Structure 1
Amino acid sequence: MNATFMTNDGVRLSYTDHGTGAPVVFVHSWQGNSLLWGPVAEQLAGYRRVLYDQRGHGASDDPVAGWHLHRLAFDLHELLDHLALDDVTLIGHSMGCSVIWAYLELFGPARVHKLALVDHTPLMIHETGADEDSSAGRISALSEEQISGIVQGIANPATREHMLAEFLSGLFHPDFPEDRKREVIAGALRVDGAFSSALFNDFAHQDWRRQVLQIEQPTLVIAGGASLVPLAAQQWVAANVPDARLEIVDGADGGSHMLVIEADKQVAELLATFLAD
């Protein structure tokens, strides 16, 4: 079923709801959309699979407000309400993991059965003064200067297209087909530049380490072996969530940051095993 629903601030969100069984909700990345999760979701027969476009992305409305992570988490809460979903497995990729952590911070774990976190870090930005060999230094991904450059480049209409193409291309394995890469970049260019830059700036400056320490649900962490996201970050999450499982998709097998489409078969197999446990 393809459908939409209206958030409490008047933004229409698009979603698909297919299959029966235990509910699984997929939360996509920054500049992404629900289509990125499609190949993985198709391989998880036997579950009720809900994929949605977050505000400002895909087929959902462009919002005039709510350009920050916690509003995206509230949207997720409203989606679960709209579909009356409980005992849900939330599966996030990249920023989608941050949306899940924000959801847990705002609403707690009562409706969440399991979590799957794909290639993200709870601390994106290098802490000022942090030693590179410290925990914070090893798990963070970008400097303040890099974050600022991305934000400014995307906010500026004159540089946005080039900046996005360059940044997103770097998230793939070099051998990933150019035509498929261009499709992803085209989907990203659908997102308004002002919204996109504000959202990136917001989620890049979050620190989710304390929230991760509160997780008690069964958790699967999937890392790309050749991703720009530090493996140490995902090892840290797995080590600090009780009985969490860490799986690494080798770079040669499509284990880039965009492993949800480059290595969809491996990701789906890992999720299928986790969901069945």
Structure 2
Amino acid sequence: MSMLEVETDTLGRPVELYYEDVGYGFPVVLTHGWPLDHAMWEAQAAELLDRGCRVITFDRRGFGRSSQSQGSYNYNRFADDLAMLLDALDLRDVTLVGYSMGVGEIIRYMARHLGQRVGRLALISGVAPSLAKSSTDVGGVDEATFDRMDTELREDRFAFTAWYANELFEGCQEPTVSRATKDWIQSQIHRAATESMLAGIQLLRETDFSEDLRAIVNMPTLVVHGHADRIAPIAATSARLADALPNCVFKAYDDAPHGLFVTHARELAADLLELVKSPPNVTLPAAKV
């Protein structure tokens, strides 16, 4: 459990990222979703560690135990923070795993930092190429939904948190997610800064990664999404992402909601291990669609 200083703010105060670096072997870096933190990866991290991986998880600025940094919540900054973490730990041939908003962070890193130190990618329940409804993505999330999320977060942060913890698992048939698990999800959201949460809604509303995707066309990539995802509908996100990455492996989990890191924890861990232990720059096994 460590802190990495990535910059100083306008008052000269350090901006630090909280990270955990555990184990030995194949390096795997996992980036969390909005508005969660590194703890979301608990099940996958345990399995990766048991199978001979070095697992690095961290909290994005403004989330978890990392510093709040007013006015600095954007994908370029997130990508630069990730680059500093990889450099500070001198990681090589990394398997970079992103979930939800973390997928956007990884894609921006690959474009902005030319994929340095990375050997493989896993893009889980992502928001790319874009999440918002548009003329090219009619199945995306509409403006009214983003407006409602913004309003409800401002009016009652804790009611919003409870709603989101439920929405993560809506559409899931089996297994049933316990109240205790939803409380665990809420505890992560409570650690986030309200400003970073609001900024995240705006980023999800306005960011299109179509141009950035050119940087990862030739990178061994696993794309995973749930058919029952109500937060980032599969047709608007990962189905389009897989089309843009013709050499990727695309696995769509039946009945899986956005929170498939809980509901399909073992299946996801197995798929990540298969990716981690594959040689770099080779064609992966056939997709499960």
The two structures share one fold, judged by TM-score above 0.5: yes
1: distance between equivalents of 2:177 and 2:112? Answer: 38
Superposed structure 1 runs of 4+ greater than 4 Å apart:
none
Equivalent residue in structure 2 for 1:85, among 59, 70, 91 = 91
Equivalent residue in structure 1 for 2:233, among 230, 233, 245 = 230
Partner of 1:54: 60
Q: Given residue 161 of structure 1, which amino acid in structure 2 is its aligned partner?
A: F
Partner of 1:126: 133
2: distance between equivalents of 1:71 and 1:210? Answer: 18
1:70 alignment partner, SS class: helix
Partner of 2:251: 247
Q: Where does structure 1 lack aligned partners over 5 or more consecutive residues?
A: none
1:194 offset after TM fit, Å?
A: 2.3
2: distance between equivalents of 1:227 and 1:199? Answer: 19
CA contact (8 A) 1:249 1:266 kept: no
1:11 offset after TM fit, Å?
A: 1.2
CA contact (8 A) 1:93 1:120 kept: yes
Q: Given residue 87 of structure 1, which amino acid in structure 2 is its aligned partner?
A: D
Q: Superposition pairs for residues 60-79 of structure 1, below 5 Å?
A: 60-79=66-85
1:199 offset after TM fit, Å?
A: 2.4
State whether structure 2 residue 195 is matched by structure 1 residue 194.
yes
2: distance between equivalents of 1:190 and 1:52? Answer: 14
CA contact (8 A) 1:114 1:219 kept: yes
Over the matched positions of the two proteins, sequence identity in percent amounts to 27
1:6 offset after TM fit, Å?
A: 0.8
CA contact (8 A) 1:151 1:198 kept: no
2: distance between equivalents of 1:20 and 1:189? Answer: 32
State whether structure 2 residue 167 is matched by structure 1 residue 164.
no
- Aligned-pair Cα RMSD in Å: 1.6
2:57 alignment partner, SS class: strand
Partner of 1:207: 208
TM-score by length of 1: 0.89
1:83 offset after TM fit, Å?
A: 0.6
2: distance between equivalents of 1:51 and 1:264? Answer: 16
2: distance between equivalents of 1:91 and 1:204? Answer: 22
Partner of 2:37: 33
Q: Given residue 124 of structure 1, which amino acid in structure 2 is its aligned partner?
A: L
1:184 offset after TM fit, Å?
A: 0.5
1:102 offset after TM fit, Å?
A: 1.5
State whether structure 2 residue 28 is matched by structure 1 residue 7.
no
1:73 alignment partner, SS class: helix
1: distance between equivalents of 2:261 and 2:169? Answer: 11
1:108 offset after TM fit, Å?
A: 1.2
Aligned residues: 263
1:225 offset after TM fit, Å?
A: 2.2
2: distance between equivalents of 1:223 and 1:121? Answer: 10
CA contact (8 A) 1:98 1:203 kept: no
CA contact (8 A) 2:27 2:53 kept: yes
Deviations along 1:198-251, whole A, 9 cap, x unmatched? 222123310012222431200000111211222223122222214200112222
2: distance between equivalents of 1:219 and 1:22? Answer: 16
1: distance between equivalents of 2:124 and 2:162? Answer: 22
